[in-house]
Amino acid sequence: MLETDTPATANGEEVPSLAGRTVLVTGATGDGVGAGVCRAVQAAGGRLVLNGLTEAELAPVLKRHPGAVGVVGDVSKPEDAERIVRTATERCGPVTALVNNAGVGLAEPFYRASEEEFDRVFDVDVRGLWLVSRAFSRLLIDQGMPGAIVNVSSVHGRATMDQYAIYASAKSAVDGLTRGSALELGPYGVRCNAIAPGYVHSEQNVHLLGRITDDPEAWVERHRDVEQPLPRLVEPVDCGWAAVFLLSEQSRCVTGQTLYVDAGLTARLYNRASTGNPASAPATVGGPLPDAPDPSDGGPLPTSDLTASTPLAAIGAPSLLEGSL
Ligand SMILES: NC(=O)c1ccc[n+]([C@@H]2O[C@H](COP(=O)([O-])OP(=O)(O)OC[C@H]3O[C@@H](n4cnc5c(N)ncnc54)[C@H](O)[C@@H]3O)[C@@H](O)[C@H]2O)c1
């Protein structure tokens, strides 16, 4: 097994655990997917190395994760990518798990986007991911160590919507890189998979939805209850648990795959409103929308028992985070 000292067990069976593992998470300073990954990795017993763009952004995150190590750097710069991986190893010993979370979005028709906008998305989401993976993989190969990479893709890698052509093509590239890396790293005992979140419910995303709709709560409720087959909001930590599984020994035969954390969104051809089938109506309606999870409180994330509907204005709020809508 992957340098795990003692396997976590339940009823005599091993359960996913990252005890004894050090996990490097890029772009770990937001309150979205990266925060959920950090939270789940820590809960699974993993040690965290957190990358952020600035010391100031890293400081509060390091406070939330005692014992974690921070490394400042821009993943899209080759020298930074090399340094992030090198520093992580120097400070923590062998780092055998990587989550390529850093990403930026863009909501702009491809025929209007500028070269700078295109380059920025591809520089961070594709080139940066490749640069960090390259440095990480070289280290593992040189040291003859097995390991695992999880790339953060998106539902846009499979299907997309107006204004997302460039972001979608970047995330499709992430899926391709995931498959190809898995083939090339397999002989070295290094696995590579991706998680592909749909709309992730975070405080930041709800706030930013205000830019595209007067009623973010209604948007979120409709998305949950009409667009998603499973009427449950995807929270950052849901992405985190998927990543933990893909990093853990329990997924030792899984590589080259993209795991959709989207409450079934990409499995659907038509939403509930368009089928008009009463059997596919929302199960329940009512109750206020829960507060978006606040990763700083360390408490349990709210479970979403709500329901309702929404025009599909913009799934995959990463672009919202960039304020580009
Ligand atoms: N939030 C969503 O709904 C959603 C949906 C699908 C996919 N995603 C993907 O999840 C990942 C995380 O995005 P998020 O929206 O959850 O935000 P997040 O809260 O995890 O923050 C993204 C982080 O990336 C960092 N970053 C940006 N450019 C960087 C660079 N050059 N070098 C290092 N760090 C950099 C930012 O500082 C930020 O900390 C992205 O890859 C995004 O495309 C998000």
Question: Would you put residue 45 in left (φ > 0), alpha (ψ -120 to 50) or beta?
Answer: left
**47 φ, ψ (degrees, to nearest 5):** -90, 140
**Percent of the chain predicted with pLDDT > 90:** 74
Q: Could you tell me if residue 83 is inside a domain?
A: yes
* Domain count along the chain: 1
Q: Is there a domain that residue 57 lies in?
A: yes
What pLDDT score was predicted for residue 129? 99
Taking residues 71-84, report their average pLDDT.
98
Is residue 55 domain-resident?
A: yes
Mean pLDDT of 123-130: 98
Take residue 223 and report the two structure tokens written for it: 């998305």
- Report residue 126 as tokens: 């594709």
Chain centroid to CA 140: how far?
A: 23
Residue whose C-alpha is closest to residue 148's, from 90, 111, 190: 190
Whether residue 194 contacts residue 37, with contact meaning beta carbons closer than 8 Å, is answered with no
For ligand 1, say whether the CB of 160 is within 6 Å of any of its atoms.
Answer: no
More confident residue, 42 or 301: 42
Angular region, 273: left φ>0, alpha ψ -120 to 50, beta rest: alpha
Kindly report the CATH number assigned to the domain that includes residue 28.
3.40.50.720
3-class DSSP state of 49: strand
- Residue 286 near residue 308, CB atoms below 8 Å: no
**Which residue has tokens 């390991």?**
147
pLDDT digits (tens, 9 = 90+) for 302-314: 322 222 233 323 3
- What's 226's DSSP letter? I
The 10s digit of each residue's pLDDT in 152-169 is 999 999 999 999 999 999
Element (H, E) at 36: helix 33-43
Higher pLDDT, 317 or 41: 41
Q: How confident is the model at residue 289 (pLDDT cuts 50, 70, 90)?
A: low
Hey, what are 104's tokens?
């930026």
The average pLDDT across 200-222 equals 87
Buried b (16+ CB within 10 A) or exposed e, 255-271: bbbbbbbbbebbeeeeb
**Phi, psi (deg, nearest 5) at residue 317:** -65, 10
Q: Is the pLDDT of residue 297 over 70?
A: no
Mean pLDDT of the chain: 86
Cβ of 103 closer than 6 Å to ligand 1, yes or no, is: yes
Question: What is the pLDDT confidence band of residue 6, given thresholds at 50, 70 and 90?
Answer: low
pLDDT at 281 over 90: no
Ligand 1 atom at minimum distance from 128 CA: 31
The Cα-based distances of 56 to 62, 63, 158, 236 in angstroms read: 10, 12, 35, 22
Return the pLDDT at 211: 73
Residue 290 pLDDT greater than 90, yes or no: no
Measure the CA–CA gap between 220 and 239, rounded to whole angstroms.
18
| Structure confidence at residue 30 as a pLDDT band (50, 70, 90) | very high
Compute the chain's Rg from CA coordinates: 19
Is 228 a pocket residue for ligand 1 (Cβ < 6 Å)?
A: no
> Per the domain annotation, does 303 fall within a domain?
no
Range of the domain at 145: 19-202+232-269
- Give dist(CA 152, CA 150) in Å, integer: 7
Contacts of 289 by beta carbon, 8 Å cutoff, 6+ apart: 217, 220, 221, 306
Q: How far does the centroid of ligand 1 lie from the alpha carbon of residue 318, in Å?
A: 7
pLDDT bin (cut points 50, 70, 90) of residue 283 is: low
Whole-angstrom Cα distance, residue 103 to residue 202?
Answer: 16
Closest-CA residue to 236 (of 27, 10, 32, 40): 32
Average pLDDT over residues 253-273: 95
Question: Of residues 120 and 325, which shows the higher confidence score?
Answer: 120
Average pLDDT over residues 118-131: 98
Residue 31, ligand 1, Cβ within 6 A: yes
Ligand 1 center to 287 CA (angstroms): 30
CA quadruple 98, 115, 206, 159: dihedral positive or negative? negative
Residue 195 has pLDDT above 70, yes or no: yes
User: Which pLDDT score, from 0 to 100, does residue 272 have?
Assistant: 80
Residues 6+ apart with CB under 8 A from 31: 202, 203, 204, 236, 293, 294, 295
pLDDT: which is higher, 313 or 202: 202
Res 279: pLDDT? 54
Q: Please indicate, yes or no, if residue 36 is contained in any of the structural domains.
A: yes
Residue 223 in any domain: the answer is no
Residue 96 belongs to some domain of the structure: yes
Mean per-residue pLDDT, 19-44: 97
Amino acid at 241: W
Whether 104 is in the pocket of ligand 1, judged by its Cβ within 6 Å, is yes
Between the CA of 27 and the centroid of ligand 1 the distance, in Å, is: 6
Residues that are catalytic: 167
Distance CA(6)–CA(141), nearest Å, equals: 24
Residue 290 lies in a domain: no
